[in-house]
Structure 1
């Protein structure tokens, strides 16, 4: 049956970032809805960002398009262009290969709920705009996907 029982999807808290980069994202929760129906070509994640938490470190993807729809609440979208407030119903898209890092910050007093859809390309790699970290290809196959400094020193 293709129906997804969201309440049965595992709830992942925080991020996989090495310390101290994980701290701003500790009050984020996500559920991999795409995995629940064995989708392989794109990922679908339901992401809850608690007040004062971030969705991620500001990053960009080399081989993955990303689409985000804000279902509930209010967040600040941060890109190279600056800060923009998004409200429930607003959407944003990020094209693969564009080196303009993005992330969402919840500066409100209530939870924000995002639906995040992105390509699942094992070749994907990218960088974090504001910190000395990048992620490597191999995340989906388990053959890599770890973090390193921008000059190649493995982290975590």
Structure 2
């Protein structure tokens, strides 16, 4: 058993699904995340160990206004979706998504095997998120992150 600050990532509790509004939650429902950065007490950036079963998606295609994101595939194969199209990423391959670049991205597991990856992002607030394929954004309203409709600014329940 490792001693702090070391730890076994498989002992970190998992969090399943997403916080998306119900109408958009299905594709990420079986995704699990282990919040390694939180477990280790990190404050400036997050690190997640993410597991995607066959047919599941990392997120809805999105981009961040202020936060950088980085992913590295650990096991399996994942299809990276961006404005440029699709490409398959295998173990050891990485992708970087600079803050403020309006190029939505997501990973999808189109194989019959479970895939895992590391996800790293900074914690710059008040970050906002745009979902270019649907009528949704994340906006900060009265100090709270809210899912809103891009078309008219109304809240999702």
The aligned counterpart of 1:34 is 37
- 1:109 positional shift: 0.4
- 1:7 positional shift: 3.1
The aligned counterpart of 1:148 is 148
Structure 1 residue runs of 5 or longer lacking an equivalent are none
Equivalent residues of 1:4, 1:33 under 8 A apart: no
2:19 to 16, 28, 36: 16
Q: Which runs of 4+ in 1 moved over 3 A?
A: none
Equivalent residues of 1:122, 1:137 under 8 A apart: no
1:16 aligned counterpart, secondary structure: coil
- 1:38 positional shift: 1.2
1:77 to 76, 80, 93: 80
RMSD: 1.4
- 1:11 positional shift: 0.5
Q: Which has the larger radius of gyration?
A: 2
- 1:75 positional shift: 0.7
The aligned counterpart of 2:135 is 132
CA distance in 2, matches of 1:31, 1:62: 24
Structure 2 residue runs of 5 or longer lacking an equivalent are none
Equivalent residues of 1:67, 1:118 under 8 A apart: yes
Q: How many residue pairs align between the two structures?
A: 153
> What TM-score do the two structures reach when normalised by structure 1?
0.93
